[in-house]
Amino acid sequence: MTNEKKSAANTFTITDNSNGKSWDLPVIDGTVGPRVVDIRKFYSDTGCFTYDPGFTSTGSCSSKITYIDGDAGVLLHRGYPIEQLAENCDFLEVAFLLLFGNLPNADELKQFNHDITYHSMLHEQIQRFYSGFRRDAHPMAVSCGVVGALSAFYHDSLDFTDPYQRIVAETRLIAKMPTIVSWAYKYSIGQPFTYPRNDLSYAGNFLQMLFSVPCEPYRVSPVLTKAMNRILILHADHEQNASTSTVRLAGSSGANPFACIAAGIASLWGPSHGGANEAVLNMLMQIGSKDRVGEYVKRAKDKDDPFRLMGFGHRVYKNYDPRAKIMQQTCREVFDELGVHNEPLLQIAMELERIALEDDYFIEKKLYPNVDFYSGIIFRAMGIPTSMFTALFALARTTGWVAQWLEMIDDPEMKIGRPRQLYTGATQRDYVPLDKR
Ligand code: CMC
């Protein structure tokens, strides 16, 4: 520990009451948000580790990409509120913003659109890779496998130390994800793979690859394209969540970008994270009717019942998730446009939200609907099967993962991620031969 004097406002003093020793830890201010206590030298100075399972109080990196104020329900990408981006932008504008720090001007957007569009086809041999999967394989299993396998097909963009290769990998990942995910669906239903179309937007092209068949022309609905565009924007990035931290951790060892994104997809799959949108729909179907909502809210509050209200609660938001608000509005727009009124699952969802938001348990624990609460209902109305929901999340989040990975590689403070532990196992003991055990 250095003895240099620091101003009291910029230090955090910690005292070991077992020996009375104190240490001044530096405090770092971000541009906005809570102050951060720098514990990088904590172990070498004090001989202690900090303990924080689930990283509830730990910042793992510095980042300029996304800011969340969970108490106020605010989400900013590069400073722009999510509401403004979702209302005004094409998804690729937001992708550019996340990757490069500013909204693109017209020329930059044209070039970026071109770069993404012209990388959307998959190496033809990858088609054969698909046929190795069982027909009923989950699209997340297929997407995870195929994205990991890209590293076996694109050897010229694996070297993370080369800035040019990094950009090629970034372009390939964002461009090919709609093809990969839509093909996972096509394979599962036994339809021929549809190739990307360069005349369509990112969202429109994805819908066309999902739903068109070679035997008839397919008209991409502007309403559904707008909704899909918005859904992609709402899922594009969300700071250091489980899957993004997984991508960063995998990348910190120097693993290639395709392997890192495959790791992110695996992490996203769980029902506490991206898998929640699928779980919400299954839950709503299980509830089945409005009059059974109270019963399920009661179960969610019961400590002895593992059931949780899927699509409710968030580690960071202790207020309404701003994405959920936009999702709810998009849901109404889609239903109006499709002329679907009184969709039973939407009625159940709205009743569930109403009851939960008035309930003391949910109020006290600050549990509000999150982004996944309404997304599944919209996907279902669009004709997207439940098993595809999380794969769609992965498609959108790939942009955020790649942006975070690029930021990490450029960060002079980057180190291989290597958390420590509180060891609670056996202390040293001697080997016992088999016949003596
Ligand atoms: N239903 C009922 N009780 C809940 C719920 C819920 N959905 N979420 C949290 N709680 C309770 C929980 O039992 C705990 O109670 P207590 O303090 O009495 O033990 C308290 O609220 C705090 O919950 P926690 O599990 O300690 O909070 P966390 O920050 O570790 O978990 C969460 C956050 C999102 C995993 C959790 O709220 C959850 O499981 N929600 C349902 C799954 C879901 O919708 N996930 C999507 C998250 S948003 C999209 C994404 O990030 O991918």
Q: What does the pLDDT profile of the chain (437 residues) look like in tens digits?
A: 333 445 667 999 999 999 999 999 999 999 999 999 999 999 999 999 999 999 999 999 999 999 999 999 999 999 999 999 999 999 999 999 999 999 999 999 999 999 999 999 999 999 999 999 999 999 999 999 999 999 999 999 999 999 999 999 999 999 999 999 999 999 999 999 999 999 999 999 999 999 999 999 999 989 899 999 999 999 999 999 999 999 999 999 999 999 999 999 999 999 999 989 889 999 999 999 999 999 999 999 999 999 999 999 999 999 889 999 999 889 888 888 888 777 888 889 889 999 988 999 999 999 999 988 988 889 988 889 998 999 999 999 999 999 999 999 999 999 999 999 999 999 999 999 999 99
Structure tokens that stand for 133 in this block: 């999967």
The long-range contacts involving 30-34, CB below 8 angstroms and separated by at least 24 positions, are: 30/62, 32/67, 32/69, 33/67, 33/69
* Residue 370 to residues 144, 239, 317, Cα–Cα distance (Å): 24, 15, 8
Q: Which atom of ligand 1 is nearest to the CA of 243?
A: 52
Cα(237) to ligand 1 centroid in Å equals 20
Closest residue by Cα to atom 15, ligand 1, is 365
Residues 30, 240: Cα–Cα separation, whole Å: 15
- C-alpha torsion sign, points 96, 98, 99, 104: positive
Q: Which active-site residues does the annotation give?
A: 314, 372
> pTM of the full predicted structure?
0.92
Q: 243: closest CA among 63, 401, 373, 406?
A: 401
Q: Which atom of ligand 1 is nearest to the CA of 275?
A: 52
For ligand 1, whether the C-beta of 397 sits within 6 Å is no
User: Which strands make up the sheet holding 74-77, listed edge to edge?
Assistant: 66-69, 74-77, 80-81
Ligand 1 test: best mutation among 314, 357, 368, 397, most atoms within 8 Å of CB? 314
Q: How many CB atoms lie within 10 A of CB 157?
A: 22
